[in-house]
Amino acid sequence: MPQRPEDLGFSSERLARIDRHLEAHYVGPGKIAGCQALVARRGEVVHHTLLGSRDLERARPMTEDTIFRIYSMTKPIASLALMMLFEEGRFALADPVHRFLPAFRDLGVFVQGRYPSFATRPPERAMTVHDLLTHQSGLTYGFMQRTNVDAAYRRCGIDEHKEGDTLAGLIDTLGDLPLEFSPGTAWNYSVSTDVVGRLVEVISGTPLDRFLRERIFAPLGMRDTGFAVPSAERERFAACYTRGPGKKLVLEDDPEGSRWCGEVTFFSGGGGLVSTAHDYLRFCEM
């Protein structure tokens, strides 16, 4: 860390406002258990805040090496992996997805109905790789709670990654469900990046976890990033909380029994990674 944030164009006083704001409005009132805020420029960390606890039940404080579930911040990493293959000339962004994933060849667009009986129409064009990368694929998430299509995702457990589930199995399930809209005609946050992860596997011939480890994490020195927390590092793994009745924190995922601490078979490119603040900084600076 430089002697003064001012050396890299920052104001020490203004950076300190981050700490005061997070403590006064989030950690202090108990809206969140704890947090980190890291600010860097040109590879130099100019501010790193550690507030509160990573595990309230065990009174473990927040530390620099705390391991977090990074959820959708997995998406930039999986997307980068696919674009590395693009740079190698392995596919074109305009390629139809069904070129690599045949289960997507006959996708229909929702017209009416409920799971498992839907009326569909043919899409205006095939879904492309570009559609997946820009969330214009017509796919969705079950937690959207808006349409009969995302209700079908919930019925099929699309958002639930159980032991033994795989990306290949996800593709087969999605191939039997309708799209929300014709690819390229609208935007919708979705499981598109999980499909991106499967494309990485199919195009490279390598499981997604291994591809990320060998091509991104190892070269960047991201030692604490992966789809599972090693047993020797579980004490560093943060508990995950949600807000329950009365806006009180409720333990949602205990690090001692978390699925991230077991054997992982579903490598979610959309939200499956764990990492640390310093590891993710290495990725952001690549």
Q: How many whole angstroms separate alpha carbon 231 and alpha carbon 28? A: 31
Read off the tokens for 198. 């499967």
DSSP-derived 3-state class of residue 108: coil
CA distances from 46 to 2, 12, 14, 103, 277 (A): 7, 9, 12, 48, 14
Adjacent-strand bridge partners of 87: none
Q: Are the C-beta atoms of residues 183 and 133 closer than 8 Å to each other?
A: no
Average pLDDT per block of 10 residues along the chain, 286 residues long: 80 96 97 96 92 97 98 98 98 98 98 97 98 98 95 94 92 98 98 98 98 98 97 96 92 94 95 97 92
Read off the tokens for 107. 């996708």
The pLDDT of residue 161 is: 84
Cβ neighbors of 131 (< 8 A, separation 6 or more) are 97, 137, 138, 183, 184, 192
Angle at 157 (CA atoms; ends 153, 163), nearest 5 degrees: 150
The pLDDT of residue 132 is: 98
The pLDDT of residue 1 is: 46
Which of 12, 53, 72, 268 is catalytic? The answer is 72
Dihedral sign for Cα atoms in the order 47, 52, 55, 60: positive
Residue type, 95: D
Residue-wise over 90-105: b if at least 16 C-beta within 10 A, else e?
ebeeebbbbbbbebbe
Q: Are the C-beta atoms of residues 257 and 240 closer than 8 Å to each other?
A: no
Tell me whether residue 137 is one of the annotated catalytic residues.
no
Of 86, 83, 94, which is closest to residue 184 (Cα–Cα)? Answer: 94
pTM of the predicted model as reported, rounded to 2 decimal places: 0.94
Which residue in this structure is represented by tokens 């807000």?
243
The pLDDT of residue 266 is: 96
Give yes or no for a cis peptide into 116 (omega within 30° of 0).
yes
Long-range contacts of 239-242 (CB under 8 A, 24+ apart): 239/33, 239/54, 239/55, 239/56, 239/57, 239/58, 240/69, 241/32, 241/33, 241/56
